[in-house]
């Protein structure tokens, strides 16, 4: 099993571009597959999760070529039903979005994933897709998902997305592209809107309420915009933002990061905690806003984080909990029960790991209370943290090394490759001293 062995490194500095956005890359691949003209995807994320999407699209007879090791060209068209089972690996986004496409294009297929994905909830997509007329089933609400050919037309529905899931929303919008009548999705708190922005870029008939809570799509063919450029992923940048904020000294700049407001909850939360963050060179890439983010060492304080702040920071709570441990006073997170349904149960994984490193925290059914230790000195004890095979848990705990008293070992780290293949190299380049090992070597 792979592990990280990290020696404390107390100052971090540098200028880096973190991995490209995972959500946007998945969507660019899937939407491009539906167009008859080719689409070039510039600076896509090439990681285990997005390779799983590339393979799924190829399995439907669509050609994808890789130019100069970086750009992808998708020659979209008519998708055919894949021969055999599609392996979605660790990717919840792939399995859920692919269901929307398979239902829309009436493809029969079977979808599976790794041990983590096989335990994740799927009724949130199978039930509304069944209501649209799809022949789709999952065993006990978990993968495998089996899709059969439908003889009747697909019909639009009105769906209340009470879990505020962007995966559910995009999946239903993709099916809605091929349904009779309108498909309308309403959310209590708006989830990330990359799907809507990209569908608009591909010419879909999509409209939204001003507050982004209600989205409507009508059937229609997509037209390729020719190319789609993918910004750096704010949920990969957040590890370095937290490390720079809690480090005793230093400054870091993260280049070309997506700052779509449906994703920047972590920046808002860290600013409220007193972080010294500047957003520079604001610009756009396609329909997505991007900027460079400069972060300096800061004195943080604990805050209350409630349900309304969770969807825009959903993937960033593990990193924020490391910041909370290094902040003065208590941080209280509630309304975050969805974290229990991610690549691991992130509430439980984080509480166990923080306690292992000597941080006083309490697990709530839908959140965590952390007693911060802002002494200005190293605060995390030396210890071994089990990442539970969850990439974001592994990367979050790696950042604790900037305020650690001794070595931190993080086990089961292979899945960092699902979202951030050059994580250790970039970490070392800014002063976070990670050595990748394998306990099979012993």
- Is residue 280 a contact partner of residue 291, using CB atoms and an 8 Å limit? yes
Using the minimum distance from each CB to ligand S3P, give the nearer residue, 2 or 192: 192
Nearer to ligand S3P, 167 or 387 (CB): 167
- The residues pairing with 109 across neighbouring beta strands, listed in sequence order, are 147
Q: How many residues does the chain have?
A: 442
Task: Kindly name the residue from 49, 87, 114, 315 that is annotated as catalytic.
Answer: 315
Choosing from 233, 288, 315, 412, the residue that interacts with ligand S3P (CB under 6 A) is: 315
Q: How far is the CB of 38 from ligand S3P (least distance, A)?
A: 24
Strands 2-7 vs 38-42: parallel, antiparallel or unpaired: unpaired
**Total residues at the site for ligand S3P (CB under 6 A)?**
12
Across 392-427, b (16+ Cβ under 10 Å) vs e yields bbbbbbbbbbbbbeeebbbbbbbbbbbbbeebbebb
Residue 166 engages ligand S3P in binding (rule: CB under 6 A): yes
Question: Does 23 participate in binding ligand S3P (rule CB under 6 A)?
Answer: yes
> Counting contacts by CB under 6 A, is residue 260 touching ligand S3P?
no
Q: Which helix (H) or strand (E) holds 23?
A: helix 22-33
Rg (CA), the chain: 21
Shortest distance in whole angstroms from residue 381 CB to ligand S3P: 30
How far apart are CB 74 and ligand S3P at their closest, in Å?
18
CA-wise closest residue to 39 among 49, 23, 28, 26:
28
Is 297 a binding residue for ligand S3P by CB under 6 A? The answer is no
Would you say 105 or 263 has its CB closer to ligand S3P? 263
Of residues 90 and 106, the one with the C-beta less far from ligand S3P: 90
Could you confirm whether 315 is annotated as catalytic? yes
Per DSSP, the three-state class of 25 is helix
Judged by CB under 6 A, the residue of 43, 126, 165, 415 near ligand S3P is: 165
Which window, 41-49, 130-138, 164-172, 288-296, contacts ligand S3P (CB under 6 A)?
Answer: 164-172
Helix (H) or strand (E) holding 54, with range, is: helix 48-59
Between 361 and 400, how does the x/- string for binding to ligand S3P read (CB under 6 A)? ----------------------------------------
Are the C-beta atoms of 66 and 40 separated by less than 8 Å?
A: no
Cβ atoms < 10 Å from Cβ of 264 = 23
Tell me the C-alpha distance between 308 and 28, whole Å.
28
Binding span for ligand S3P by CB under 6 A among 46-54, 159-167, 357-365, 402-410: 159-167
Which residue's structure tokens are 């691949």? 29
Closer CB to ligand S3P, residue 87 or residue 196? 196
Q: Using the rule CB under 6 A, is 93 a contact of ligand S3P?
A: yes
Could you give the CA distance from residue 31 to residue 195 in angstroms, rounded to a whole number? 9
Residues lying near ligand S3P in the complex (CB under 6 A) are found at 23, 92-93, 165-167, 170, 191-192, 314-315, 338
């Amino acid at each position: 099993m792979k592990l990280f062995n990290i020696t404390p490194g107390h100052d971090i500095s540098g200028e880096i571009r973190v991995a490209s956005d995972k959500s946007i890359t998945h969507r660019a691949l899937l939407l491009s597959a539906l167009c008859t003209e080719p689409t070039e995807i510039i600076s896509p994320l090439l990681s285990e999760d997005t390779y799983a999407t590339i393979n799924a699209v190829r399995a439907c007879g669509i050609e994808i070529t890789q130019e100069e090791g970086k750009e992808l060209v998708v020659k979209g068209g008519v998708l055919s039903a894949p021969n055999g089972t599609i392996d979605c690996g660790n990717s919840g986004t792939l399995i859920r979005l692919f269901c929307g496409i398979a239902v829309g294009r009436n493809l029969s297929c079977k979808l599976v994933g790794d041990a983590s994905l096989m335990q994740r909830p799927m009724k949130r997509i199978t039930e509304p897709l069944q209501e649209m007329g799809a022949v789709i089933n999952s065993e006990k609400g978990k993968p495998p998902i089996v899709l059969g050919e439908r003889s009747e037309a697909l019909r639009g529905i009105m769906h209340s997305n009470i879990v505020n899931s962007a995966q559910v929303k995009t999946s239903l919008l993709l099916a809605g592209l091929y349904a009779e009548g309108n498909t309308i999705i309403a959310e209590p708190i708006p989830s990330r809107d990359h799907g809507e922005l990209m569908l608009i870029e591909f010419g879909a008939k999509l409209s939204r309420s001003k507050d982004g809570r209600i989205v409507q799509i009508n059937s229609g063919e997509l037209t390729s915009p020719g190319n789609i450029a993918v910004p750096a992923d704010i949920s990969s940048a957040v590890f370095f933002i937290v490390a720079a904020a809690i480090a005793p000294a230093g400054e870091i700049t993260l280049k070309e990061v997506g700052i779509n407001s449906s994703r920047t909850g972590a920046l808002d939360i860290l600013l409220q905690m007193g972080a010294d963050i500047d957003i520079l060179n604001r610009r756009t890439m396609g329909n997505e806003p991007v900027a460079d983010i400069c972060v300096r060492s800061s004195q943080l304080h604990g805050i209350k984080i409630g349900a309304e702040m969770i969807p825009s920071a959903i993937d960033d709570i593990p990193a924020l909990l490391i910041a909370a441990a290094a902040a003065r006073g208590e941080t209280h997170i509630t309304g975050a029960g969805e974290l229990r349904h991610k690549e691991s149960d992130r509430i439980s994984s984080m509480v166990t790991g923080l306690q292992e490193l000597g941080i006083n925290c309490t697990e709530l059914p839908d959140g965590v209370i952390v007693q911060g230790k802002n002494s200005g000195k190293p605060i995390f004890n030396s210890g071994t943290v089990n990442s539970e095979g969850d990439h974001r848990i592994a990367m979050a705990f790696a950042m604790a090394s900037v305020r650690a008293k001794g070595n931190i070992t993080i086990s089961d780290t292979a899945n960092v490759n699902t979202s951030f293949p050059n994580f250790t190299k970039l970490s070392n380049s800014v002063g976070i001293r990670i050595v990748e090992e394998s306990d099979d070597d012993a």
